[in-house]
Structure 1
């Protein structure tokens, strides 16, 4: 009777698990590059390409811009990426500096909830903003709004 003893370095195949830290690291790099493009595009379109620069930005300007689906999706992508990027960065800081597991978990849950709430509210505002509110001063609304 022969008995084979496995090598001590042989491991049984473990269940495949997702490495969330790796994916968080990759997300931070990819979203950071995309955010640079989105932020500078946002600043260029609002401050340089707009006649009058920062002084031309008012409710009518924002309402007119958000009436265009291209700018709606641009701003929503900017909002989502920035909030998730920031929340993930804060999660990393909590992992590094908060030593009590209960406190760390509470702070991370609060971070997640606040980011989710801001994403929800910001997305709602971008897609439901009425650029032509009833009874508004015609000099303040977008140029394409009918005069009441």
Structure 2
């Protein structure tokens, strides 16, 4: 029996992993790249969202000018389509990566992790595909 260190005993059953405890060791660097992606996408999202909010809510009359015609005019420019598409994709990937980390940390069973991640990927793809479709096929001349 080992002596307790700072009030903790190391005689706990092996099934009670601490959150963030690695479950598998693999030779790839996926977690490192996922961590880096979170930092860089977060910084880029801050710039994109602050720019979006400034343009949409503060400049040229603010929120009172936001209507269908404003969106139609904005999305007639490829620049704004790419801006909004980048915001959509980065937000989905950034948020999905965060939820994936939470699933890995707290889902105990492999099957539970699998199904939660499957639902996560399906929902992310559905939102990204639908959002991309709307941005690029938006028709300002609705009859």
Report the TM-score when normalising by structure 1.
0.77
Partners of 2:85 and 2:57 lie apart in 1 by 19
Give the structure with higher Rg (CA).
1
Runs of 4+ in 1 over 3 A off after TM superposition: none
Q: Say whether 1:40 aligns with 2:50.
A: yes
2:89 corresponding residue in structure 1: 80
Q: Offset at 1:56?
A: 1.2
Q: After TM superposition, give the deviation of residue 48 of structure 1 in Å.
A: 1.3
In structure 2, the partner of 1:31 is 41
Q: Give a deviation string over 1:49-74, Cα, whole Å, max 9, x none.
A: 2x221121111111110111100000
Partner of 1:128: 137
- What is the alpha-carbon distance in structure 2 between the residues aligned to residue 40 and residue 103 of structure 1? 37
Stretches of structure 2 that go unaligned for 5 or more consecutive residues are 1-25
Q: Which residue of 1 aligns with 2:99?
A: 90
Q: 1:18 is paired with a residue of what secondary structure?
A: coil
Residue aligning to 2:65:
56
Q: What is the CA-CA distance between 1:19 and the residue it aligns to?
A: 1.3
> For residues 18-71 of structure 1, what are the alpha-carbon distances to aligned partners after superposition, in whole Å with 9 as ceiling and x for unaligned?
31111100000010000000000101111112x221121111111110111100
TM-score scaled to structure 2, two decimals? 0.79
Q: Secondary structure at the match of 1:42?
A: helix
2-structure distance, mates of 1:128, 1:17: 42
> What is the CA–CA distance in structure 2 between the aligned matches of 1:27 and 1:116, rounded to whole Å?
18
